[in-house]
Amino acid sequence: MTEAFDLDWLDLREPFDAIARSEALAAQLLALLPARPRLIDLGSGTGSLFRWLAPRIGRAQAWTLVDHDREMAEAAFDTIADRAGQVGLKVTFPNRKTLLVHAPGGAWRVEALAADLADAPGILPLANADAVLSSALCDLVSRPWLERMAAALRVPFYAALCVDGRERFLPPHPLDARVLAGFRRDQGRDKGFGGSALGPLAPAAIAATFGARGFQVTSAASDWVVRQRGASPLPGLRQHNYRFVSELALGHAAAARRHDHRGLRSIGAWADARLKQISGRRLAVRIGHRDLLAAPPRR
């Protein structure tokens, strides 16, 4: 079973993901798609990538949201329907597994597939896909999983928000190196994809693995940047910003604790100091990511 994430965390990170993803790389992806693209979204969660990319495609399109958690599929449908309604788009449900967003340029068809991604690509409907997409997934997968995916695909592969190992908390703290060392070890543990997770090696691994099979791979930075002072990337959502940066600090500390039992007291002191800074709106965070697009060789 692949690693799962809770709904609250996915909801909390969605606006930061939306700001971070590279518009330029998404435009390159869109240029490769046919008139009515059929897209497979791996590890779709609550459908945040759909909500970001579908309006940019604009025209008629069909999505298959793949996640092992049926609760996620239900949450995705509910959230997609709610957001569509907020902008005046009609939504219908032809059946329990299908949602239609009736947009001016054509209907956006969304279907859910409950499947364990550890078994991909064999469980995916690749014969009916014009591109395979993911967001915040490929740093969790193993190298053998990635190699199987590259071997199976004849269509573009888009991987957004892959961590690249650049984490920085400002102002600096004497225990940053210890916490980040434990966090880095946690990034590499097996996340259910048949081997050690790629973690920050994911961008280079994607480029090398798909490049070896003739794909042209391009990438762009897609960092999370969270400042508690000055201009906010989320105007009017200061509390959302506060919660997000708190979860980042606590998440780093929890991951470090799993691998540094002798440093529990030090890691606790680091977390306490960071939370105090967050309460005083004095902490800034940058988490490095890259978006990647692998375009298949021309036939």
* Tokens encoding 30: 């869109």
Is residue 44 included in any domain, yes or no? yes
Pairing label, strands 284-295, 216-221:
antiparallel
Is residue 93 included in any domain, yes or no? yes
* Tokens encoding 213: 């099979």
Range of the domain at 95: 7-164+196-223+289-295
Is residue 97 included in any domain, yes or no? yes
CA angle, 222 then 227 then 231, to 5°: 100
Burial code (b: 16+ CB inside 10 Å, e: under 16) for 155-176 equals bbbbbbbbbbbebebeeebebb
φ/ψ (deg, to 5) at 124: -95, 145
pLDDT digit string (tens) for the chain, length 299 residues = 456 678 889 999 999 999 999 999 999 999 999 999 999 999 999 999 999 999 999 999 999 999 988 888 889 999 999 999 999 999 999 988 899 999 999 999 999 999 999 999 999 999 999 999 999 999 999 999 999 999 999 999 999 999 999 999 999 999 999 999 999 999 999 999 999 999 999 999 999 999 999 999 999 999 999 987 665 555 555 677 889 999 999 999 999 999 999 999 999 999 999 999 999 999 999 999 999 999 999 86
Please tell me the pTM assigned to this model.
0.94
Spatial contact of 238 and 232, defined as CB atoms under 8 Å apart:
yes
Is residue 149 included in any domain, yes or no? yes
Domain count of the chain?
Answer: 1
- Cross-strand pairs, 99: 110
Is residue 253 included in any domain, yes or no? no
What is the CATH classification number for the domain harbouring 132?
3.40.50.150
Is residue 132 included in any domain, yes or no? yes
- Cross-strand pairs, 13: none
* Spatial distance between the Cα atoms of 154 and 298, rounded to a whole number of angstroms: 10
Residue 233 per-residue DSSP state:
S
Is residue 42 included in any domain, yes or no? yes
* Spatial distance between the Cα atoms of 32 and 156, rounded to a whole number of angstroms: 8
Is residue 229 included in any domain, yes or no? no
